[in-house]
Amino acid sequence: MVDVVVVGAGLSGLVCARRLREAGAEIVVLEARDRVGGRVVNEPIAPGQVVEMGGQWVGPSHTEIRRVAAEVGVDTFPTYGEGKHLFAHAGRTTQFGGDIPARMPFGLVDFRIAQARLERLARHIDLGDPASTPRSRRHDTLTVETWIRRHMHTRSGRNLMRLMVKAVLATEPSELSLLHWLFYIASGGGLNSLVRADGGYQQDRFVGGSQEIALRLADDLGERVHLSAPVRRIEHTPEGVRVHTDTTTYDADAVVIAVPPHLLTTIEFCPALPATRNQLSVRMPPGMVTKFVAVYDEPFWRATGLSGQATLTSGPIGVTFDNSPPGGSPGALVAFALGEDARALENLDADERRAAVLERLAELFGPSAAEPTQFHERCWAREQWTRGGYAGIFGPGGWTSFGKILGRSHGRLFWASAETVVHAHGSMDAAVSAGERAAVEALATCLAEVPASR
Instruction: Decide if 372 contacts 246 (C-beta within 8 A).
Output: no
- Going across the sheet that includes 413-415, the strands are 225-226, 27-30, 4-7, 254-257, 413-415
Backbone angles phi, psi at 36, to 5 degrees: -95, 165
Shortest Å, Cβ 39 to a second copy: 14
Site for a second copy in 363-422 (CB under 8 A): 379, 381-384, 387-388, 395-397, 400-401
365: left (phi > 0), else alpha (psi -120 to 50), else beta? alpha
Residue at 53: amino acid letter: M
In whole angstroms, give the CA distance from residue 23 to residue 26. 9
Binding mask 186-225 for a second copy (x = CB under 8 A): ----------------------------------------
Shortest Å, Cβ 103 to a second copy: 26
Instruction: Decide if 84 contacts 218 (C-beta within 8 A).
Output: no
Instruction: Decide if 316 contacts 357 (C-beta within 8 A).
Output: yes
Stretch that binds a second copy, among 80-88, 167-175, 317-325, 445-453 (CB under 8 A): 167-175
Residue closer to a second copy by CB (options 172, 436) is 172
Q: Which member of 180, 262, 291, 425 binds a second copy (CB under 8 A)?
A: 262
Query: How many chain residues are in contact with a second copy, going by CB under 8 A?
Result: 50
Shortest Å, Cβ 345 to a second copy: 9
Binding mask 236-255 for a second copy (x = CB under 8 A): ----------x---------
Instruction: Decide if 183 contacts 423 (C-beta within 8 A).
Output: no
Q: Which member of 81, 190, 199, 230 binds a second copy (CB under 8 A)?
A: 230
Strand partners, 355: none
Shortest Å, Cβ 262 to a second copy: 5
Residue closer to a second copy by CB (options 250, 269) is 269
Shortest Å, Cβ 397 to a second copy: 4
Shortest Å, Cβ 386 to a second copy: 8
Site for a second copy in 288-307 (CB under 8 A): 288
Pairing of strands 27-30, 204-206: unpaired
- Whole-number Cα distances in Å, 206 to 72, 74, 199, 214, 221: 12, 7, 16, 12, 21
Spatial CB neighbours of 370, under 8 Å, sequence gap ≥ 6: 358, 359, 361, 362
Instruction: Decide if 419 contacts 12 (C-beta within 8 A).
Output: no
Shortest Å, Cβ 344 to a second copy: 10
Q: Which member of 63, 132, 279, 368 binds a second copy (CB under 8 A)?
A: 279
Residue closer to a second copy by CB (options 220, 340) is 340
Stretch that binds a second copy, among 117-125, 171-179, 195-203, 431-439 (CB under 8 A): 171-179
SS3 267: coil
Instruction: Check binding of 278 to a second copy (CB under 8 A).
Output: yes
Instruction: Check binding of 84 to a second copy (CB under 8 A).
Output: no
Instruction: Check binding of 132 to a second copy (CB under 8 A).
Output: no
Residue closer to a second copy by CB (options 151, 343) is 343
Q: What is the DSSP letter of 295?
A: E
Q: Positive or negative CA dihedral for 178, 184, 186, 191?
A: negative
Site for a second copy in 10-69 (CB under 8 A): 32
Instruction: Check binding of 145 to a second copy (CB under 8 A).
Output: yes
In whole angstroms, give the CA distance from residue 392 to residue 423. 15
Residue closer to a second copy by CB (options 292, 296) is 292
In whole angstroms, give the CA distance from residue 184 to residue 237. 36
Q: Positive or negative CA dihedral for 401, 407, 409, 410?
A: positive
Shortest Å, Cβ 433 to a second copy: 24
Q: Interface residues with a second copy (CB under 8 A)?
A: 32, 140-143, 145-146, 149, 172-175, 230, 232, 246, 262-263, 265-266, 268-269, 272-276, 278-279, 281-283, 285-286, 288, 340, 342-343, 346, 379, 381-384, 387-388, 395-397, 400-401
